Amino acid sequence: MTHEREREREREQPWKSNSMATPPRKQQVSLRGASAKEITRDALLEKVCHERELRNYTRRAAAAALFIQKVWRRYHTTKKVARQLQEEWEMSMTQYDDLMTSGWVSSNVLRPFLFFVTCSSTLHQKLQITTIKCMLTCFKTILQSIAVKNLIEFIATGKSGLYSSVRRYIMNSNGPLRRKSDVLTDDHFLITASAITLALRPFHVADLNINDVGLSDVKDAAEQYCTFLLTVPWLSQCVPAVLLPAFKHASVLSPCLLTLLISKERIFVEMSKLDQSKFCSSCPNLIPSSGWALANIINLATEYDNGSGDSGRFVQGLDCRVYVHSVITISENLLCWLENCGCPRNEENDEYIGNDESSIETADPDILEKTASLGSLKVSYIEAFKPVYQQWHLMKLLAMAKKDFSMPEADTSAANPSFEYCGKLELIDIAFFYSCMLRIFSSFNPMGGSMPTLNMLSFTPGFLVELWRVLEGSFLCQEDHVGNDDKLCKNGISGSHNDIVMEKKQGRVAKDAGNKWTSVLQKITGKSCNDVDYVQSTNSPLGPSLDDGDACDSWDVEPLRRGSQGISKEISCLLHLFCATYAHLLLVLDDIEFYEKQVPFMLEQQRRIASVLNTLVYNGFSHNNGHHNKPLMDAAVRCLHLLYERDCRHRFSPPSLWIAPARKGRPPIAAAARAHEAVTANLRSADALTSPSMGSVITTTPHVFPFEERVQMFREFIKLDKVSRRMAGEVAGPGPGSIEIVVRRDHIVEDGFKQLNFLGSRLKSWINVSFVSECGLPEAGLDYGGLSKEFLTDISRTAFDPGYGLFSQTSTSERCLIPNTAARLVENGMQMIEFLGRVVGKALYEGILLDYSFSLVFVQKLLGRYSFLDELSTLDPELYRNLMYVKHYEGDVRELSLDFTVTEELLGQRVVTELKSGGKNMAVTNENKLQYVHAIADYKLNRQILPLANAFYRGLIDLISPSWLSLFNASEFNQLLSGGKHDFDVDDLRSNTRYTGGYSEGSRTIKLFWEVITGFEPKERCMLLKFVTSCSRAPLLGFKHLQPTFTIHKVACDVPLWAMIGGQDVDRLPSASTCYNTLKLPTYKRPSTLRNKLLYAISSNAGFELS
């Protein structure tokens, strides 16, 4: 033992001395009964665990084998018993002839059947033929037994839970949660067919009157059906096509629709509960159950071809009045939901998704994907209403209404509430139907959801004319006012009247029948091209009495003097549908059709339509009820604006029509201006509901105020703005703190751009201008307003000159200015356009007239308005004539070899632009020629000029508020910029003229001067005004608003006194200082000399150098 201890110490000592060099060896142990071979502790533990797992696996395998054996034995036994039970069941069903009691059916039919049919679906991969036969036998036996009545009564009640179960099954098996492996195809179809059979059985039994099933049972079943099945999203697509006719059958659909009308309150309450439950649709916050019920009813009640919009019909036996009233009832519920809850947006998206590209780039991809899916859901939902915007749907309803009108009215009893909905179909019902549809489509897709329906309504022959006939009789007939609205609506379709109209329409065929839209418009009123001369001779656009002072009262429609609150619900609905449809038609109606062919209305009718809408809109906002019926007011405002803009471009109504509603109750100018500013401020703060009513009138219908009053409002706006700036400490006149610039006369545009463009809204401040002559020498003088005016006049004259390259002139006789499209390619071209917008804004702000007129198309963009086809005539008359030739071309348009491209020349290069994707390879045909015409017009009027107009607009609104500009139309904007008519009132100028240098009003030369210019021609007077003020037109509000004041300065000349009667008169020419609006007039003695010298001076287009 001693030697062993010493050896152990010797082994430990080297380890202690060099412990970092060699790791210690693990402790060795020996297995009892084994050899002397050693094993580590970890290896031993691993081996023990392995042996333990092996024993556990052996035990589990033995248990699994035992379980499989038991399952196999049970399967074999169950299969044997099920087969034996099925054989016995089949034998008993064929041999049993006694009375089938409920107990016998339950124990001998249902229980054995459920056992072996369940086993059959488990034992076989596919349904066996024998199993299907057994199912048919079972169902037939149950339906023929005495238990059918109790069964149907139980199914019809809510206690059975059948309809809710069928709903959940259809939604889960056809919704996004369904997996292909969940249910086999045959089993899925069988279960669906069985469930639908049970759900529809109460309706079939009631229809056949089997076992005296009562109406109350059908009513309960119909309520359950409406609540749970009609609210399944896309029900027509979820149900197998072979089973869809069962849903469409009149015996099922008609009782459900009638029950919906009778018990609508209770059904809608159940639908709202369904929206809050976990069994609702996938997006209850976007589309409620009533919305799906609406879409499903329309699809179940109609049969149509998806590939064609001209063929379709209602299901056989359907009561169309009940159908229309049901759709209206559900639509009103859905619209109420949309009004209270709104068509929701994803709130998470608001902070990410904006109008700029940077916000889109930083958006969360998951949020963008969710937003896209919600948007696609809305689009798919609107597409579910496809029958509504097919023309056959409207035509059949109109035909049925006409047929019902010609039939005598049956005597119905008020005891049965269903009789209320079983009468005649009337025009007001159809109008209600489509009015609700338009509002729903606009709610889900404001940009274009209602477009297909409006297309169909606009071009349905006679529909617009019939709507207006009813409205005209309601509003404009003295014997029929608001109280008779119901009577007018019920007589909305007159059989004899329509027969005459239809005969005339069929007898008058337009020559240009090859043009689809034109021929449709011809059918609307039944006028042919031969009628034009008669129309023009007998229906002058402006009769002799239209402009009389008393005519205003005739344009103020009395039933509408309370706005939308003064008319009934029926007329309100008719008017909404008419305004929405006619506004859509006006977008594509060209001037030839409107003024010459006069379709769809005569010009006299157009004036009456304008007066009705004008009175409605003005009084609606003036009585502060513009938000009372928002859909009606929005449609009326849009239609009114389109008519007014067309009248501004080509007059068809007297000015008294537009100002008639406000003729007696207009507020003072200052009060109206302050109200307008208040409503603008409230609109910016998204609090439009608290805005003053008169401010809303000025914002929506500024044309009810005469142009002169609106100009005064504009000057009042600027006055208020200057006061607020002065209170804020800004410099409002010459002196320290004003903006000082030095401008070289030969580089006036470049110097002005460099020194003023960065100022933005600070350009409103006073500007002190110092000129440097072309020789490089500073010009003497102090700027007290005159040099600033000269600077604005000269810089605009240079920059707007077509030779400068930023602007060009239109090819019309007016030679109006429009931005040059090539300016986008020039260095700083867009910045220069924006700077010129500030120059024009500065001129408007300071009341300085510029003798230029912009193209109406360009001004439309500045006013934020879209331009349409007919406005192309003011921009490019030749192109407009060519497009009209294509539009009315009677042959094959392919002969013209056109495609959807436009070619233009920019900086010497030909550039081809596609009007639509793939336009180079898309030929223009008779089918798409209207698209081509409007695409060309849209490119020229909107797309091409929009970037330049936006740049000019950004500069303009730095000084002029957009709300101020909204008071005027395009032609009025030009008048605001360049002055009034091409002549002026001499007496007004004389009353507002200042005399300096020794002249007075009684001076002989001054008397001769006024005598001479009174005898001038209007053109000569305008030349004189341009010579003195640099603008040929007078200020809109008279010469008292001319800044600086018109001045005549005396230029003394030594001439003998006898020069008045003969001899040599003053030889010096008059001169002018345009910056100060000053005429330097020598002391002429004879009127002939003054006239000749003055004409020579103003005709020479010069000023200072003449003196």
Phi first, then psi, for residue 134 (nearest 5°) are: -65, -40
- Torsion 206-209-213-219 (CA) sign: positive
Structure tokens at 436: 């609700």
Q: Which of 305, 211, 222, 318 is nearest to 264 (CA)?
A: 222
Map tokens 């994803």 to a residue.
346
Map tokens 């290896």 to a residue.
43
238 is known as an active-site residue: no
C-alpha 302: how far from chain center: 28
> 841 near 957, Cβ under 8 Å?
yes
Structure tokens at 417: 């509430």
- Torsion 693-698-702-707 (CA) sign: positive
The helix/strand/coil state of 1065 is: coil
Distance of alpha carbon 1033 from alpha carbon 1023, whole angstroms = 9
Distance of alpha carbon 275 from alpha carbon 334, whole angstroms = 13
Which of 256, 436, 579, 1075 is catalytic? The answer is 1075
Distance of alpha carbon 315 from alpha carbon 326, whole angstroms = 15
> 1075 near 789, Cβ under 8 Å?
yes
Q: Who contacts 962 (Cβ-Cβ below 8 Å, separation ≥6)? A: 864
- Per DSSP bridges, beta strands 767-772 and 739-744 are parallel
- DSSP collapsed to 3 states, 610-652: HHHHHHHHHHHHHCCCCCCCHHHHHHHHHHHHHHHHHHHHCCC
CB-neighbour burial class of residue 366 (10 A; exposed 0-12, middle 13-18, buried 19+): exposed
Summary count for the chain: helices (H), strands (E): 47, 12
Phi first, then psi, for residue 994 (nearest 5°) are: -105, 140
Q: Which of 1021, 1017, 1049 is nearest to 1034 (CA)?
A: 1021
DSSP 606: H
C-alpha 1055: how far from chain center: 75
CA 333-339-345 angle, 5° bins: 115
Q: Which amino acid is at 707?
A: F
Distance of alpha carbon 1043 from alpha carbon 793, whole angstroms = 13
Distance of alpha carbon 930 from alpha carbon 507, whole angstroms = 26
Distance of alpha carbon 113 from alpha carbon 109, whole angstroms = 6
The helix/strand/coil state of 1072 is: strand
* Alpha carbon distances (Å) from 362 to 58, 352, 374: 59, 7, 20
Q: Which residues are catalytic?
A: 1075
